[in-house]
Amino acid sequence: MAIQKRIDIRAGLTVDIVLKQDQRSGKLTRGIVKDILTNSPTHPHGIKVRLQDGQVGRVKAIVAYTGEL
């Protein structure tokens, strides 16, 4: 299930995202959030983020918190 609220996402979280090219297959990519790209407080398909390695996709699950608040 997609994480639909922007307030639930912070830089430093380890998350699973779906990249644009993987939307049909639903393949998940794991990484650490660098930037939140969705400006609105919610999004029906998940909040769009950029990972530390530069990949961009929509958050489907939060795995762990690894940074500072």
Of the chain, the percentage scoring pLDDT greater than 90 comes to 87
Question: What is the pTM for the complete model shown?
Answer: 0.88
Beta-bridge partner residues of 57:
19, 49
In one letter, which amino acid is 38?
A: T
Q: For residue 20, with 0-12 CB atoms within 10 Å meaning exposed, 13-18 middle and 19 or more buried, which class applies?
A: exposed
**Is 47 contained in some domain?**
yes
pLDDT of residue 64: 78
What range does the domain containing 38 cover? 6-65
Number of domains in the chain: 1
Q: For the chain, what is the radius of gyration of the CA atoms? A: 11
Residues 26, 54 contacting (CB under 8 angstroms): no
**Is 52 contained in some domain?**
yes
Determine the Cα–Cα distance for residues 48 and 25; give it in Å rounded to an integer: 18
**Is 36 contained in some domain?**
yes
What's the chain's average pLDDT? Answer: 92
